[in-house]
Amino acid sequence: MIACVDLFCGLGGLTHGLTRGGVSVVAGIDEDRQCRFPYEQNNEAKFIELDVRKLSGGRLRDLWACGTYSLLAGCAPCQPFSTYSQKGRGFRKDSKWDLVADFGRLVLKSQPDLVTMENVPQLIYHQVFRTFCESLSGYHLWWKVIECATYGVPQTRKRLVLLASRIGPIALSPPVANGPDGKPTVRKFISHLSPLGAGDSDPTDALHSACSLSRLNLRRIKASKPGGTWRDWDVSLIARCHRKPSGETYPSVYGRMEWDALSPTITTQSFGYGNGRFGHPEQDRAITLREAAILQTFPDSYRFLPEGVRARFNVLGRLIGNAVPVRIGEVIASSLLNHLETCCGQATNPVPTGRQAAKGGGKSGRRELL
């Protein structure tokens, strides 16, 4: 059995996917207390409210005690590296840069059998990523920037996935052409939800709530075509900033999704019509929080709020946008289990702790894109 601890666990997207894929997640660790309810309501793992910088290797080893193999997993907050936080190629200083380094520190202190990290592609260009890889000396290392859509996530979302093992060579399972259900599209994932107007909520699901729109934005979305841009509008509807030469390069705001295509990357602001191509394909509103969660491959039944509590768009939008898509967690889990099945014919006993256990294990990181 693989016993896993999920660092920076958030709402539980990675945990839920790993669990569905056959990995036993024993605990999720995050300092954001607003994650506790959804994490524990939808997963059997324990939520530990803690700043990862205060976590010790010894505590991790205690949490893994029930497993045959140990897995340290996580997605350190990625805002410092995201294209949404950049101006050109410059990057702002942010204390969250240190969290990737703390992930590496915990690998060194706890020496898990397996490691996985998911993050934004831009991370690979920074010293903190190279330092993290150095903390995996003695591990067989694999990493790649993947197109999530090739694994069944209905978004134009690229992510860095890293796997490491002290047991033997490891890699993410290759995608299956179009997946078992064909090409993932917006229609396949959210067309079954009840129709809403801007500012309305589904009485049976507090998360299926749409932001209100101003009169001007209501006129704009009615003038928007699926897959189109604000360039299709009458000039009276175009924002002043977009009439300037500097604004002409931002055509993807105030757009509608297309039913039979991928959605754009779900961000922390995806509930807002003016924040990207987040208009519903045919209803005159932005997508709801529930629709954003489903496009992140959370199941329809995933509970984000206690009964009777209203959704706070800024809070849940941030948590949903920052989540690891559940489907990616499933793919990582199946890759890890396939890895153990392949390697355990040669090493049927749990690998001893210590860096000497994997002497000769080389790195095989690659920067190619799927």
Q: Which residues are catalytic?
A: 78
Identify each DSSP E strand in 178-324 by its residue range.
Answer: 201-202, 205-209
305 vs 284: CA distance, rounded Å: 26
122 vs 115: CA distance, rounded Å: 20
Q: What is the DSSP secondary-structure string of 16-50? A: HHHHHTT-EEEEEEES-GGGHHHHHHH-SSEEEE-
Are 289 and 316 a contacting pair, CB within 8 Å? yes
2 vs 64: CA distance, rounded Å: 9
132 vs 23: CA distance, rounded Å: 24
Residue type, 300: D
13 vs 10: CA distance, rounded Å: 7
| CA-closest candidate to residue 44, choices 18, 67, 65, 70 | 18
